[in-house]
Structure 1
Amino acid sequence: MTPDRKLEAFFAADRPSSRDYAFQIEVARRIAKRRAWMTGLALIPWALIGAVLLWALDTAAGPYVGGLADTALPVAMALTLAVAGAGAALWLTRRFSAG
């Protein structure tokens, strides 16, 4: 065996293996999904703080803006339904999409 052949055989043993792209895509998808869940869960304390602050404002300013609540309730319900519908549509799109 010539020195060139010996070097070629030596370097051939160190060649990287082929990449599994399907595995890499699945790992990246799971990481992105976990990050999305963690981001959503991190917002829960802020939502609770906001709810407590709004409750405190409502009890403090309730007598002064009592008429405003009567007109704001239908708007708030419509916005809640719109956001819930958009969230459900997004979830269903991601749930049943290919991939």
Structure 2
Amino acid sequence: MNNEVHYQLSQKQLNRYTILQKLVDGDFTLAQAASSLGLSNRQVIRLKKGFIQEGPAVLIHKNTNCKPAHALGDELAAKIISLKQSELYRDANFLHFQELLSRHE
């Protein structure tokens, strides 16, 4: 079974990857890695452990690409945007628009 993870690392994550790889390879001490990352020794130890066990995937937050529970659905968001752009609500500021929506829509 292939457990390959597909992801795109940000610049910050790439920097962390490089420093952690140097730490694992013995090119950096724990103190140097902590200083470079702006983290405590304890946090770097935790990152190093995860890096060794899981690889670069440990650098990506688990909620990446997850929609928040309180987010509006795509259809509702599109409807609100089209209403705001309509002739009826175009000149209303956002607070007034919100009040008008709750009253009339």
Q: If the TM-score is normalised by the length of the shorter chain, which range does it land in? A: under 0.3
Please report the TM-score for the alignment, with normalisation by the length of structure 2: 0.22
Task: Pick 1 or 2: higher relative contact order, CA cutoff 8 A, min separation 6.
Answer: 2
Structure with the bigger percentage of helix: 1
- TM-score for both structures, normalised by structure 1: 0.23
Structure number with greater Rg is 1
